[in-house]
């Protein structure tokens, strides 16, 4: 976990809560914690950051910070949550495929192998900036090109890093998943995030 700015427990917390994302998956996850929040698009250029040669770990953290900061600067005095996922095998990064053809290509490369899903989160308030990284190791089963094509066209995982939806049909693609928090694979690790927000003053009982 990375921390900056220091913590002042005497502050009048909690702050208004904002999710720096318009992802329906992350919004659904955050809503499970029971705190009221709003969702705002960060409107950042992720491609520029991805072209700067950062390691997968660094990239995930930097993108989550960039998203949180972009929204925080427009909503100072709030608590902003930024998150990003990076799918990697060795040091090769797989971004959101955006097209069916690209999704099939990614899954063809991943099938029969193990890869890592990095989920980074940054929480930014007037007094704190806290970032953490969750690691999930996924072991994908051997798949034929027909199985891959059928999956992609059925589940349309075009906005998902790695080209699969584990909360949907994509779970069938895997033999084993090693994780510390099952919510991380959907895009927002709620265990660590809730620990941070409770420490900041958000109540367990709503």
Model confidence band, residue 13 (pLDDT cutoffs 50, 70, 90):
low
| Residues catalogued as catalytic | 84
Model confidence band, residue 44 (pLDDT cutoffs 50, 70, 90):
confident
User: Is 31 among the domain residues?
Assistant: yes
- Domain with 82 in it: what CATH number? 3.90.950.10
Please say whether the beta carbons of 67 and 83 come within 8 A: yes
> pTM for the complete prediction?
0.86
Per residue in 99-110, pLDDT (tens digit) is 999 999 999 999
The Cα-based distances of 86 to 1, 31, 58, 93, 162 in angstroms read: 17, 23, 10, 7, 8
d(CA 165, CA 24): 13
User: Is 28 among the domain residues?
Assistant: yes
User: Is 161 among the domain residues?
Assistant: yes
User: Is 205 among the domain residues?
Assistant: no
User: Is 89 among the domain residues?
Assistant: yes
User: Is 97 among the domain residues?
Assistant: yes
Q: What percentage of the chain exceeds 90 in pLDDT?
A: 76
pLDDT greater than 50 at residue 49? yes
- What's the mean pLDDT in 184-200? 95
Range(s) of the domain holding residue 60: 15-200
User: Is 206 among the domain residues?
Assistant: no
Nearest to 121 by CA among 86, 170, 75, 78: 86
Per residue in 65-84, pLDDT (tens digit) is 999 999 999 999 999 999 99
Model confidence band, residue 120 (pLDDT cutoffs 50, 70, 90):
very high
Total domains in the fold of the chain = 1
**Angle formed by the axes of helices 145-155 and 100-110, to 10°?**
130
User: Is 54 among the domain residues?
Assistant: yes
pLDDT greater than 80 at residue 206? no
pLDDT greater than 80 at residue 167? yes
The Cα-based distances of 11 to 6, 77, 94, 106, 168 in angstroms read: 12, 12, 41, 47, 41
pLDDT greater than 60 at residue 177? yes
- How high is the pLDDT of residue 54? 85
d(CA 82, CA 72): 10
């Amino acid at each position: 976990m990375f921390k900056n700015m220091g913590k002042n427990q005497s502050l009048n917390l909690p702050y208004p809560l904002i999710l720096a994302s318009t992802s329906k998956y992350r919004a659904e996850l955050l809503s499970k914690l029971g705190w009221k929040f709003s969702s705002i698009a960060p409107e950042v250029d992720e491609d520029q950051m991805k072209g700067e040669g950062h390691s997968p770990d660094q990239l995930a953290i930097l993108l989550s910070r960039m998203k949180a900061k972009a929204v925080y600067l427009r909503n100072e005095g709030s608590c902003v949550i930024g998150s990003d996922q990076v799918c990697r095998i060795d040091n090769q990064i797989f971004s959101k495929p955006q097209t069916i053809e690209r999704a099939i290509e990614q899954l063809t490369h991943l099938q029969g192998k193990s890869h890592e899903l990095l989920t980074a989160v940054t929480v930014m308030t007037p007094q704190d900036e806290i970032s953490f990284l969750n690691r999930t190791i996924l072991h994908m089963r051997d798949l034929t090109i027909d199985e891959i094509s059928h999956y992609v066209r059925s589940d349309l995982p075009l906005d998902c890093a790695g080209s699969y939806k584990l909360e949907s049909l994509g779970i069938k693609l895997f033999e084993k998943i090693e994780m510390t928090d099952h919510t991380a694979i959907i895009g927002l690790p709620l265990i660590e995030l809730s620990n941070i927000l409770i420490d900041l003053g958000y109540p367990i009982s709503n």
